[in-house]
Amino acid sequence: MEVESPTVIVPPAITTVSYQKKKEATTPVLHPGRRPFPSHLPRVEVAIEPLESVTGLKAIGKEITEQLEYEPGRLFVKQYVRVKYAKANGEGIIIGNLPSMPIEKGIPGPGLLANIFIEKYVDHLPLYRQIERYKREGVDITSSSISDWVSAGCNWIRPAFDCMQTKILNCDYLQVDETPIKVLDRSKKGESHRGYYWVYRDPINKLVLFDYRKGRGREGPQELLKNFKGYLQTDGYGVYDAFDGKEIKLLHCIAHARRYFDQAVENDKVRAEYVLHEIQKLYAIERKAKENMLTHKERLAIRQELSVPILSEMHQWLKINITQVPPQSLIGKALAYSLSRWEKLMLYCTDGRLEIDNNLVENAIRPVAIGRKNYLFAGSHDAAQRAAMIYSMLGTCKMRGAEPFPG
């Protein structure tokens, strides 16, 4: 909603109005500058009559003023009423079959399960707070019950998840990053385990896969990517170097290189700001390509024409200046980081499908970072893997602009 302009108070005036034609108002009167409310929202009419008597007066129109309102989410009980019929001669009873239930003989319907998923993994509302909210509405749900519901709900989405995972791993360009998650581990008394979500994003088909692993070593991606062939874009974390070879081309992220120079500004302002300015030019070219909705082929052409000369000149400058600064200084580390990864930083200029950085996969990770602040940890390694499945499905919905639980 836009902020309303301050109300201007003016002296009262007496105005005589003459009506030439009777006209019924068909659209609400809105405040100047205010956007109309979406047409799909239901309207609840509240009739207001003047305090004084209107006996003998003729209605000449209506003035409608709209206000956006809210009621707490509505719980309701769905009753499946099945009539039982007795066969003739006592041969038995006929009754209709119940539809498939998300949880056999369980309480929740599919809508309630979907809402629990959305509230935890999109709105970051921990299960215990959902339990408190339902209790205020007169419905008692135990912690173990709601956890079991989430587990059972994951069984319904697993086929779609498995299909999506297969599709992602069959593509030829992945962006990957990892983020930690605390996990309760019964074998570690008094402390939690530090697990990791490895996140794989397919920018071409707009799919994202979260894969939970107990550690940050190469074993996880090595197992998942054993049949992968194509480009793998990373942030420069050393574990990924082992994947660079005949089947996989490793490319790095300009944004991560930029951060080193951001940190070096106070150490060597002139050198750091030179590189930052050149990188800014590269991003301006990417913005232009996006604004003009260039095809991959056209984006490759504009990079070859404009970006490659900037990068070539910067490369020569880096090689000269690294010999003039202390290796352990911030600017020295920034120069060394970029030079040691230079070919992989430039690789995006060889294929118009490739992105200049890994920021999109970092955006996909953001819900986990926000969730960590609210629910703090996963209850077990199995729970962390189930959460990875849900994050994958909901993250893909977001990438594709689809509402996961449309009203």
Q: At residue 32, does pLDDT exceed 60?
A: no
Tokens of 22: 């009777």
Q: Do residues 199 and 179 make contact, with C-beta atoms less than 8 angstroms apart?
A: yes
Q: At residue 20, does pLDDT exceed 70?
A: no
Q: Do residues 266 and 248 make contact, with C-beta atoms less than 8 angstroms apart?
A: no
Per residue in 91-143, pLDDT tens? 888 888 888 888 888 889 888 999 999 999 999 999 999 999 989 888 889 99
- Matching residue, tokens 């430039």: 346
Per residue in 133-155, pLDDT tens? 989 888 889 999 999 999 999 99
Edge-first strand order for the sheet with 230-233 is: 207-213, 193-202, 173-183, 230-233, 248-251
Mean pLDDT of 360-377: 86
Q: Which residues of 362-376 are buried (b: 16+ CB within 10 A; e: fewer)?
A: bebbebbeebbeebe
Q: At residue 86, does pLDDT exceed 50?
A: yes
Per residue in 297-350, pLDDT tens? 999 999 999 999 999 999 999 999 999 999 999 999 999 999 999 999 999 999
The pLDDT value given to residue 154: 94
β-pairing verdict for 230-233 and 173-183? parallel
User: To the nearest whole percent, how much of the chain has pLDDT over 70?
Assistant: 91
Residue 319 has a CB neighbour count (10 Å cut-off) of: 12
- Matching residue, tokens 């750091």: 272
The pLDDT value given to residue 30: 52
Per residue in 284-309, pLDDT tens? 999 999 999 999 999 999 999 999 99
Q: At residue 2, does pLDDT exceed 60?
A: no
SS3 378: strand
C-alpha angle 4-10-16 in degrees, rounded to nearest 5: 110
DSSP string covering 73-129:
PPP-PPP-----EEPGGG--EE-PPPPP-SSTT-S--HHHHHHHHHHHHTS---HHH
Q: At residue 1, does pLDDT exceed 70?
A: no
Per-domain residue ranges of the chain? 254-357
The pLDDT value given to residue 10: 35
The pLDDT value given to residue 13: 37
Per residue in 241-269, pLDDT tens? 999 998 999 999 999 999 999 999 999 99
Give 196's strand partners: 180, 213
User: To the nearest whole percent, how much of the chain has pLDDT over 90?
Assistant: 60
The pLDDT value given to residue 350: 97
* Mean pLDDT, the chain, integer: 88
